[in-house]
Structure 1
Amino acid sequence: MRAILKEGRVNRNIYVLLGLIMNICLGSVYSWSVFRKPLEETLDLNATQSGLPYMFFLVFYALFMPIAGRYIDKYGPRIVAIAGGTLVGIGWLVAGFSDNLLMMTIGYGIIAGSGVGIAYGVPIAVSTRWFEDKKGLAVGLTVLGFGMSPLVTAPIARRLITYFGPFVTLRVLGIIFFIVIVSLALFLKFPNQNMRRKNKEIIKETNSFTRNFTPSEMLRTSTFWYLWLCFVIGTFSGLMAIGISSPVAQEIVKLTPEMAALSVSIFAIFNGLGRPLFGFLTDKISPRYAALIDFAIIFFSSLGMLFVKEGSKVLFIIAFSMLWLSLGGWLSIAPTATAKLFGLLHYSKNYGFLFTGYGVGAVLGNLISGSVRDIFGSYVFNFYITSMLSIIGMIIAFYGLKQLRKS
């Protein structure tokens, strides 16, 4: 494989494929809802407590994105991805050997979450550099694996949990993820100047109206904060839905645990498809209008969930598929908008700062969804919140996400 990747003979599409496979491992967090019921029974947890490892995972994932962004250019994609993959494996193993909520949260939430935060931005940065002429589509295809991960990992985890329990499952998956991520990281690299010059005219054309903002300059623009708020709202709705998918299927629609896990796999398809779809839309119709479409999807999906009851399988699957798709959409809109609005020169650092919005959305979505379930006895009341937030998001996107021109 090294011979295939030698400079001058390289097919740049290989980097999208490598990133996609890495993201299948990194995106296994979206299968967490499969673990919730078994852990609630094994460790005697309530709905809020069983969501804490997931919440901490997403928080540390978001916190380490800007930190890692500072080192991708300095040390190169391989070293950063290997460091992240190593932490991912260690974190899953620590969780697998834990016997209480605290150790589970430290292992899965803090250590593995930090590892994903370090590794996640690497394949995105690599794809962005190799496809400066098609940033949105390339990023969308690269992170397709993150969204599609539950299609692979949820049924595997469900089967392993059935036979061996949740803790052995965590250990087995941790070892697999470590081997795959570290192995693929060895082949990641940025294009050299000769390769980049081949796209010089296209790059010049696609960036002719974009100024390269430094992080400090970007943070002083109102456009960044409007984009950040939109990202918070989009991730709040999507991550909340992902975290409660299996419990909602079992408690409200009355699906079996196996059918609930299967539904998570179906949702993962839409999460994955949302990434290239909205990457393409962000390229073609601008971040503003891509965001408006995404928020409209959240609104109508939330509205549909208000009518879901026992036996409403079709409506539940449609609504949750669209909510998962909306999150996939935002995880393409956000990085592509960062490159389009603030330039490519400081992209890794700039997107790292924007990604803190993901952490805020994760914390709020998890705490509120669990609290609503514990207080009102049902997850369905969460969808009144997401429907209202989607309207606010549409207003912010329409008035705030404007293309910044070179001065």
Structure 2
Amino acid sequence: MKILTHKSELKVLGLPADQGRWLLLPLGMSVLLCLGSIYAWSVFRKPLESELNISATESLLPFTVALVFYAALMPIAGFYISKLGTRTMTAIGGIIVGCGYLLSSFVHQIEMMVLTYGVIAGTGVGIAYGVPMVVVSRWFPDQKGLAVGLTIVGFGLSPLITAPLANQLIDIYTVRPTLRILGIIFTIVILAIACTLKLPPKDWHPQRDFAASSTIAARTYPANLFKSRSFYGLWICYAIATLIGLSAIGISSPVGEEMINIDPKFAASSVALFAVFNGMSRPLFGWLSDRLQPHRVAIASYTLILIACILMANAQPGQVARYLIAFCLFWFCLGGWLAMAPTITLRFFHPDQYAQNYGIVFTAYGVGALVGTLATGRIRDWLGTYTYAFYPMALLAIVGIIVASSMLKYDSSRPITQESL
């Protein structure tokens, strides 16, 4: 990507920067679409269970480990983006993801699949995931939330594209060649786009926003992330939202089958509807987080979650509409938080340290994912129904409202200005 240093001549992909920057949104979205393919793992499970003679629990291990490494590498990678550069980090992540898929196509034991797909591919996702958001947030200082929300849509909607593609390839070539093909495709796409992901010059602002740039530059931020009350408020709120959201996602189909008595095929197809709501909410909540006080947006999200919990706690067999509405809300709010958390991080803390800061905030996602997916399964095993899982979810939503009201607010204690760094 050719970028000239003079502000009036600055170009992005051959266009004036104010216009060319919009092309970075679909490019970043495409990178995240490739990375989000890890959520399509369910397509590979059945073929591998038959081929490797493994249980359903064992076939889930590569995906679980991939999520753990994805969440664990995010904060580590954040500290290296400024040192290695956005293009290098994206390329490294893409190559590692591709290698994970390619190596997975050659192994014949589930333990090795956990290593190749879980550890290696999951690591690649964690390395590259944050880069497109860093890039668009810097190119869109005037619309950070909307830009981040639009970019991250690619990750949320990825299963809608990559899962049918993988399923079709498996029907034609079987599972191992499919992993090989996808690994090659993802590597090529990410490497090609990596060349375009470059940050703008420091303190760059679009021409129409130039008058407001002095206000942005004079903004103060907490000097220490870990001494900021707002950081702990954001971390707790994010952990609660992801715990509830990922718990609901994990039991979407089983709840439909066991509690509502719907056809398994209908339950599975309804997940596509939920995924659409998950994708739609990201630009919406990002946009809202730009324009409203973050704690108000968070309270609105938790209120929707609370409504969904109440609907499902009183659900009866045959109440299909109630089930669809509730789980659309669960998926909608989780997608919203995946846009809200990075946007609020940008608003509360110094944007020049965004990659490191959001990497630390993102650890809340890892904790929520681990606790949430384990807790719902335990409740089902102990009590014999998923109904009782919605009571602690409702309680957590209330806790989230309280935390957001008291802690998810701008903290300027021990402040620093943008110019002082």
The question of 1:264 aligning with 2:274 is answered no
Aligned counterparts, 1:2-401, within 5 A: 5-6=13-14, 8=16, 11-35=20-44, 43-47=53-57, 49-161=58-170, 167-193=176-202, 195-196=204-205, 198=207, 199-206=209-216, 208-211=218-221, 213=222, 217-250=224-257, 252-253=259-260, 259-308=266-315, 311-401=318-408
Q: Taking structure 1 as reference, are residues 146 and 295 closer, same or farther at Cα in structure 2, changes over 3 Å only?
A: same
Bigger Cα displacement from structure 2, 331-340 vs 247-256 = 247-256
- Aligned-pair distance for 1:183? 1.7
Whether the 8 Å contact between 1:282 and 1:337 is mirrored in structure 2 is: yes
- Aligned-pair distance for 1:163? 5.9
Bigger Cα displacement from structure 2, 28-37 vs 16-25 = 28-37
Counterparts of 2:110 and 2:54 in 1: how far apart (Å)?
10
1:344-378 per-residue CA deviation (whole Å, 9 max, x = no partner) reads 12111111111111111111122223333444444
Whether the 8 Å contact between 2:230 and 2:409 is mirrored in structure 1 is: yes
Counterparts of 2:400 and 2:201 in 1: how far apart (Å)?
40
Q: Taking structure 1 as reference, are residues 173 and 382 closer, same or farther at Cα in structure 2, changes over 3 Å only?
A: farther
Counterparts of 1:260 and 1:374 in 2: how far apart (Å)?
21
Q: Taking structure 1 as reference, are residues 191 and 359 closer, same or farther at Cα in structure 2, changes over 3 Å only?
A: same
Letter in 1 for 2:13: L
Aligned length: 403
- Aligned-pair distance for 1:310? 5.1
TM-score for both structures, normalised by structure 1: 0.88
Two-structure CA RMSD over aligned residues (Å): 2.8
Whether the 8 Å contact between 1:91 and 1:107 is mirrored in structure 2 is: yes
- Aligned-pair distance for 1:296? 1.4
1:57 partner SS: helix
Counterparts of 1:171 and 1:254 in 2: how far apart (Å)?
38
1:293-331 per-residue CA deviation (whole Å, 9 max, x = no partner) reads 111122222222334465443333222221111111111
- Aligned-pair distance for 1:196? 3.8
Q: Which runs of 5+ in 2 are unaligned?
A: 3-10, 416-421
State the identity as a percent: 45
Counterparts of 1:313 and 1:170 in 2: how far apart (Å)?
36
Q: Taking structure 1 as reference, are residues 27 and 309 closer, same or farther at Cα in structure 2, changes over 3 Å only?
A: farther
Counterparts of 1:162 and 1:149 in 2: how far apart (Å)?
20
1:48-70 per-residue CA deviation (whole Å, 9 max, x = no partner) reads x5543333222211111111111
Q: Which runs of 5+ in 1 are unaligned?
A: none
Q: Taking structure 1 as reference, are residues 88 and 305 closer, same or farther at Cα in structure 2, changes over 3 Å only?
A: farther
Counterparts of 1:110 and 1:120 in 2: how far apart (Å)?
15
1:268-295 per-residue CA deviation (whole Å, 9 max, x = no partner) reads 2111111111111111112111111111
- Aligned-pair distance for 1:142? 0.9
Bigger Cα displacement from structure 2, 130-139 vs 105-114 = 105-114
Q: Taking structure 1 as reference, are residues 291 and 41 closer, same or farther at Cα in structure 2, changes over 3 Å only?
A: farther
Question: Which has more radius of gyration?
Answer: 2
- Aligned-pair distance for 1:173? 2.9
Counterparts of 1:175 and 1:373 in 2: how far apart (Å)?
40
Whether the 8 Å contact between 1:25 and 1:177 is mirrored in structure 2 is: yes
1:11 partner SS: helix
Letter in 2 for 1:359: G
Q: Taking structure 1 as reference, are residues 41 and 233 closer, same or farther at Cα in structure 2, changes over 3 Å only?
A: farther
